[in-house]
Amino acid sequence: MEGGITRTGAKIQSFYNKEGYPVSETTLERPVAPSTEFTILGAASFCHLLNDMMQALLPAIYPILRGNFSLSFAEVGFLTLVYQITASVLQPLIGFYTDKHPKPYSLPFAMIASLLGLLILAFAPNYTGLLAGAAMLGLGSSIFHPESSRIARLASGGAHGLAQSLFQVGGNFGSALGPLVAAFFVLPRGLHGLAWIAIVAAGGVFLMTRLSQWYKENGKARMNVSKPRPLPAHITAAHVRRAMAVLVALIFSKYIYLASITNYYTFYLMHHFHFTIRNAQLCQFVFFAAVATGTVAGGPVGDRLGRKVVIWFSILGILPFTLALPYVGPGTTIVLSVIIGVILASAFPAIVVYAQELIPGRTGLISGTFFGLIFGVGGIAAAILGGLADTHGIDFVYHLCSFLPLAGLLTIFLPNTKPEQ
């Protein structure tokens, strides 16, 4: 037989490979572990950038909203609470459902929901309208994160930490762009300037539709090849429960502190150092850019050195800098915020992948739970910190939050997910 040979009765058919050696049909049909799809990861990361840029516009325009609607700090915090609770409650539910019933084309609908939220905010006549717009933004985020995080894992080719970092860094850069868009685009035009983000959102809908097509065509095959690795024998169910409790405590520490920066950093700079709104927003951009930089490192370092090492350093390592921040001048404050952002940001990719290793086969549930948790923690923290700022002053908030990284000591209770030698 030209181009190949057949052994009658043996049920084995062989063909020649490029080098001229025979290759059996069984070898040709054997599943091959997929390689890392950097094009897909890049597209998913860019979609994350667009999504989180739209989400970040809400806290970035708080000074404008506070002036236009005469809001108190508590009302600003409650606005954040509505947005983030909407996202946090729905995300784990969506992740749990899509683990069993994947919905690839849910991604474009996430962008449409966020777009509607911005339009409502742009033309809201009162505080109730602002709350409705914030809730729509939360809905868009809750749909986007579980499924897009699953795409990142499917495209990872086994480099889960790297994939989670590349995916997450897009969101961090999007969060960093939010204050810039607010400072140079929304602020000169007023709230109606938010409506022009529809052009960006339309491009996001198109790109997310293409990602959904890849997911539909490749997702099932990649899930069948990339079976989750079982846990080492030394990790029991009790270890898993304790580790998950520790991870939740670390998330609380990290995102309560981030809530103080995300929602009140501009007010702190304006009050403490008499910055203008635009200069304060630019400083917030610098912090978010530092967060994006730190996120890039967290996943690959975790792949190489282990997730626990990254978690230890990223939470506890910022303690000296958070303790010093309330007592320094404006230049040093910006420098310390950059250091804090870089170190603190490396934690989240490591925490998510570590949790996925603890509970194999539940990518959507874990991603939805942890993304939902950060939104919920951030929302509740924003409301509480806003009340504290009203009663005790904005400076008190940063003195109080400076001790939160002490929670990093809990990392000692996390088990090693690598097999014991």
Distance between CA atoms of 304 and 159, rounded to whole angstroms?
10
Question: What integer is the mean pLDDT of 256-271?
Answer: 91
H or E element that contains 272: helix 237-273
Between CA 192 and CA 339 the distance in angstroms is 35
Question: Using CA atoms, how far apart are residues 177 and 183, in angstroms rounded to an integer?
Answer: 10
**pTM (2 decimals)?**
0.64
What is the pairing mode between strands 22-24 and 4-7?
unpaired
Q: Is the pLDDT of residue 205 over 50?
A: yes
Q: For the residues 271-284, what does the mean pLDDT come to? A: 90
Q: How many CA atoms lie within 13 A of 368 on its CB side?
A: 23
Helix 330-345 to helix 237-273 angle, to the nearest 10 degrees? 160
Task: Specify the pLDDT at position 167.
Answer: 83
Give the pair of three-digit tokens for residue 179.
Answer: 């204050």
Using the 8-state DSSP alphabet, how is residue 5 labeled?
A: E
Average pLDDT over residues 364-382: 76
Spatial separation of the C-alpha atoms in residues 8 and 211, rounded to whole Å: 45
**Which is higher by pLDDT, 68 or 85?**
68
* Cα–Cα distance, 40 to 159 (Å, whole number): 14
Q: How far apart are CA 173 and CA 286, in angstroms?
A: 11
- The overall longest dimension of the chain from CA atoms, in Å, is 88
pLDDT, average across residues 217-239: 61
327-367 pLDDT, tens digit each: 999 999 999 999 999 898 877 777 877 887 787 767 667 77
How far is residue 348's CA from residue 88's CA, in Å, rounded to a whole number? Answer: 16
Residues 110-163 pLDDT 10s: 889 988 998 999 999 999 999 999 999 989 888 888 788 788 878 877 777 778
pLDDT at residue 268 above 90?
A: yes
Residue identified by tokens 């404008």 is 64
Residue 385 binned pLDDT confidence (cut-offs 50, 70, 90): very high
Name the DSSP class of 227.
Answer: P
Mean pLDDT of the chain: 80
